[in-house]
Amino acid sequence: MQFDPLKRRRFVTPFGAAAAAWRISSTIWLAVVVGGLYILSAKLSLSLLTPEGVAVFWPAAGVAAGVLIAFGPRARWGVIIGTMVATIVANLLGDRNLWSSIVFALCNAGEAVLTAWLIERYFGSPFSLDRLSHVLGLLGAAIVATAVSESAGP
């Protein structure tokens, strides 16, 4: 259903149901792909833990933020769902309980959304790394989002 602002009434387009079904299926597929890439990149980080059990780098956050920056706001729900499911599964397979896994999942998804929002807000769309200011902006957005995410997590 769409809204006609001039006539102030709603009308049904013949392709409305098909378009809605397409959006839902593309969101599900994006969630599956992002979740799979997130788990693979998280496993890479977990294989390189320090003796204290600390991950030196976490490319999974870059995967989620990169997909959001590349595909824009339309990809938001697919990335959020994929990131959260992958984080919960990875944490439950490790030594975390359900509640801390959910908190970590919210923080990881929030980090990607905040990074993409900062890039969109200050640099617009489409975003490219062809200027030093954009590279430094991406670095700054990643640092800010990581700091916010880590301050909220357990």
What separation in angstroms does the CA of 141 have from each of 17, 50, 115, 130?
37, 26, 5, 17
pLDDT, residue 5, reads 55
The two tokens of residue 124 are 């617009």
Examine the pLDDT at 9 and tell me if it is beyond 60.
Answer: no
Q: For 67-121, what is each residue's pLDDT tens digit?
A: 999 998 889 999 999 999 998 988 888 778 899 889 989 999 999 999 999 999 9
Q: Which residues contact 121 (CB under 8 A, 6 or more apart)?
A: none
The two tokens of residue 122 are 């200050």
Q: For 136-149, what is each residue's pLDDT tens digit?
A: 999 999 999 999 98
What is the model's pTM?
A: 0.79
Q: For 116-126, what is each residue's pLDDT tens digit?
A: 999 999 998 88
